[in-house]
Structure 1
């Protein structure tokens, strides 16, 4: 009985850690949406900001990958 409670806690913790992946998806959408909004307002400046957009996407995705790793550690590390 006690092992089942520990396993349940691992799965609940992993599910809560996976909420960070949803947050990363929202962050990437926010970065790209703001870039597109600015690019449509001033298309001549969009080329110079593309690298900045990709850096923002990389940082947002890194947080999602970290939350995925925490979820895996909670599930499979004993």
Structure 2
């Protein structure tokens, strides 16, 4: 296998982490909507934890993107 092809395969495999990020964000906001529907008065306390979870989950996707770029261009 050529080195160039191996780089593309490695970058593609690094981007598989985005699949988990998409599923995680879907579950996160689904839980927020269900919690808000059950108890709208406590929505402000839920939103703090949801945004922290969103930031941590999205950071995982950004790390995967950085690794893929490092594989491709370094």
- Note whether the superposition's TM-score is higher than 0.5: yes
TM-score normalised by L of structure 1: 0.89
Runs of 4+ aligned structure 1 residues displaced above 6 Å come to none
Quote how far apart the aligned CAs of 1:49 are.
1.2
Aligned residue pairs total 74
1:42 to 39, 42, 49: 39
Q: Which runs of 5+ in 1 are unaligned?
A: none
Q: Which runs of 5+ in 2 are unaligned?
A: none
The yes-or-no answer on 1:61 pairing with 2:58 is yes
RMSD: 1.1
Q: Which has the larger radius of gyration?
A: 1
Quote how far apart the aligned CAs of 1:23 are.
1.5
The yes-or-no answer on 1:75 pairing with 2:72 is yes
Residues 38-61 of structure 1: per-residue CA shift (max 9 Å, x gap): 110111111111111100000000
TM-score normalised by L of structure 2: 0.93
The yes-or-no answer on 1:22 pairing with 2:19 is yes
